[in-house]
Amino acid sequence: VIRCRAAVAWAPGKSLSIEEVEVAPPKAGEVRIKIVATGICHSDEHVLKGCLPNVEFPVILGHEGAGIVESIGEGVTSVKPGDKIIPLCIPQCGECSFCLNPESNFCQKFHICEPQNLLPDKTSRFSCKGRQIHHFLWVSTFAEYTVVPEYAVAKIDAAAPLDKVCLFGCGFSTGYGAAINTAKVKPGSTCAIFGLGGVGLSVVMGCKAAGASRIIAVDINKDKFAKAKELGATDCINPRDFNKPIQEVLTELTGQGVDYSFEVVGKAETMIAALASCNMSTGVCVMVGVSESGSEIAIDPMLLLTGRTWKGSMLGG
Ligand code: NAD
Ligand code: ZN
């Protein structure tokens, strides 16, 4: 058993608290990792507010990390102690029908298929003050050591700087992949991105890499615009600067609406606005933002009937 520090979320609505925790050795098919770097994603914040379903507290959050294998359980063959790795919040067992489908990045061993947040065998490797602490997305990177299933680990180059590549664990892959894999943005196209956090800025980079000629960045916080421009945005728009709905502004700006729109906020109003901002005929809207559990949105079916495509994307497809 390793004793180390972790940021524990004891209850919804409470701040994280740095605690000494015990991390049990990996069981068969599991890997114990020394986490060297972790980012913070808005999805961690959603859980902390109690907005995501099926997450029991106390829990160690964090899912955008990178580290070094400390020890391996029986039967683990793909990594060995000392290897640099990125934990995967969507695993890849490599055997199920989802993994075998090249169109999908889902896996039937995905934690989302199970309404529980312990490890897949329904036990925890974390304890603190005599209490069992739950895992999150099988990865829990807000701990100095964590235990994950072997199929939720990707070995990376030994020279990779862990403080930078940790962003591949969620934010960068999610945004860049939403543009490249899910929307399949074409050269010369027009794109609109709602929300310019780490994920939205990565969508901007993906649209630029795909050769989009116009990239319209939308955020209610104008402080995000400088970075968006640096990364490839051609226009930056604050919906609060207009007294009409942002979808009307975007439609007027582009003639008939954008070719691709991305919702990277997680609110019903921006989801509807993003769908209505892409053009009839061939417009594609990709949902990336996570909404509060149980929330619903109402749309005019005519928006889809007239040819728009509405898609969701997790971890960049
Ligand atoms: P973030 O909080 O860093 O950024 C969100 C941005 O949205 C902020 O800049 C904020 O000012 C802006 N915003 C808020 N309301 C707005 C509005 N009405 N119109 C325009 N902009 C608005 O968040 P993040 O870490 O970049 O994550 C973004 C979303 O993506 C979150 O909902 C997160 O849970 C989700 N997410 C999804 C996946 C996935 O796999 N689908 C992965 C990671 C994150
Ligand atoms: Zn995330």
Q: Quick check: CB of 194 below 6 Å from ligand 1?
A: yes
**How large is the average pLDDT for residues 190-198?**
98
* 131/128 Cα distance (integer angstroms): 5
* Long-range CB contact pairs, 4-7, < 8 A, 24+: 4/143, 4/144, 4/145, 5/143, 5/144, 6/60, 6/126, 6/128, 6/133, 6/140, 6/142, 6/143, 6/144, 7/60, 7/61, 7/62, 7/142, 7/143
Which ligand 1 atom is the nearest neighbour of the CA of 90? 40
Residue 196 in this model has a pLDDT that exceeds 90: yes
Query: What does the pLDDT read at residue 293?
Result: 86
Q: Quick check: CB of 272 below 6 Å from ligand 1?
A: no
Query: Which architecture characterizes domain 174-312 according to CATH?
Result: 3-Layer(aba) Sandwich (3.40)
More confident residue, 141 or 50: 141
| Cβ-based neighbours of 276, under 8 Å, separated by 6 or more | 245, 247, 251, 257, 303
**Adjacent-strand bridge partners of 132:** 127
Main-chain phi, psi angles of 297, to 5 degrees: -130, 145
Residue ranges of domains in the chain: 2-169, 174-312
Query: What does the pLDDT read at residue 154?
Result: 97
- Record the tokens describing residue 209, joined without a space: 């890499």
Q: Is the dihedral of CA 202, 207, 213, 216 positive or negative?
A: negative
Which ligand 1 atom is the nearest neighbour of the CA of 246? 19
> How do residues 266-297 score in pLDDT, each as one tens digit?
999 999 999 999 999 999 999 999 998 888 99
Fold of 2-169: Quinone Oxidoreductase; Chain A, domain 1 (3.90.180)
Residue 115 in this model has a pLDDT that exceeds 90: no
Tell me the average pLDDT of the chain: 96
Q: CB of 220 within 8 A of CB of 226?
A: no
First CA to last CA distance, the chain: 36
> How do residues 62-94 score in pLDDT, each as one tens digit?
999 999 999 999 999 999 999 999 999 999 999
**How large is the average pLDDT for residues 110-136?**
93
Q: What secondary structure does DSSP assign to 181-237, as a single string?
A: III-PPTT-EEEEE--SHHHHHHHHHHHHTT-SEEEEE-S-GGGHHHHHHHT-SEEE
Q: Quick check: CB of 8 below 6 Å from ligand 1?
A: no
Query: What does the pLDDT read at residue 52?
Result: 86
Q: Quick check: CB of 200 below 6 Å from ligand 1?
A: yes
Ligand 1: which of 40, 42, 63, 204 to mutate, judged by most atoms within 8 Å of the beta carbon?
42
Residue 44 in this model has a pLDDT that exceeds 90: yes
Ligand 1: which of 199, 205, 269 to mutate, judged by most atoms within 8 Å of the beta carbon?
199
